[in-house]
Amino acid sequence: MPNPSKSWAALAPRVGVWLCAALASGPGWAADIASFSGATLGAPAPAWKFATLPNKKPTQFTVVDLAGAHVLKVEAVDSYGNLVHALNPPVAPHLELSWRWRVEQLMADADLTTRSGDDSPAKLCVFFAFDGSKLSFGERAKLALASSTTGEDVPTQTLCYVWDNKLPVDSAMANAFTKRIRFIVLDSGVDKLGQWVSHRRKLAADYQRMFGEESAGQVPDITGIAVSADADNTHGHALSYFGDIALTPVRGDPPASAACCMARP
């Protein structure tokens, strides 16, 4: 039987993304996603909540003016951090997530397939409310340890879209520290550095691709999203920008099938 204490020791460096989700999940948060374009310069809107891990230098998240538009600047210098937006109540999963991002600086030593290289200049993560009782004993033990250590509930499934420095586009993998977090690489390398790149993803399809072996064809509600960048494992420096993030009905669906950011009854 696996030793939960040893598992937690290995898991701790990445439990922060779970903790961040839990910290932002208190009552009263609006279901829509606060914009960066409409925010004042400086700290993001209050709906966005920053969290990191103890003894980690924090990644910096700042609303700045870039070429006349207000956007989110994300700078990681040997640091770790997440900017989390809770969706309370949770929203139906059959929506599209759309956003644009722009990376200015990559980390040459980053390698998402290894623990020592598990850093990225830009991530957009989605938290799913999967029933943890369906996980293996070992996975439940790790989650229980994480919850008891942080004092918060942690999400059972997290899907992150990433900009990587070298992995091929559409690469898909589990986080090097835990299977509870899984990645899809949307952009890679230097070809698009300094350019805005827009994405629109069907969350239910991506969820089934990454967590389908656990879900038995079901897709859980979405409890939150997080903008993230980290450079704590490679001790590097990364810089990126994010435009507004939106959840909208999947194109082609009738209006009643999935209202934008509408919670399930």
What tens digit of pLDDT does each residue of 215-260 get? 888 899 999 999 999 999 999 999 999 999 999 988 765 443 333 3
Measured distance CA(65)–CA(93) in Å, rounded: 32
Name the band, by pLDDT with cuts 50, 70 and 90, for residue 98.
very high
E strands, 95-230, are 95-105, 120-128, 157-164, 172-174, 181-188, 197-202, 222-230
Q: Mean pLDDT over residues 120-132, rounded?
A: 91
User: Do residues 82 and 125 make contact, with C-beta atoms less than 8 angstroms apart?
Assistant: yes
Question: Could you identify the residue written with the tokens 């959840």?
Answer: 247
Domains of the chain plus CATH, in order, are: 4-257 (2.60.120.260)
Measured distance CA(122)–CA(114) in Å, rounded: 17
Q: Mean pLDDT over residues 102-128, rounded?
A: 96
What's the whole-model pTM score?
A: 0.82
Residues 6+ apart with CB under 8 A from 17: 82, 125, 158, 160, 181, 226, 228
Measured distance CA(158)–CA(180) in Å, rounded: 6
How far apart are the two ends of the chain, measured CA to CA in Å? 41
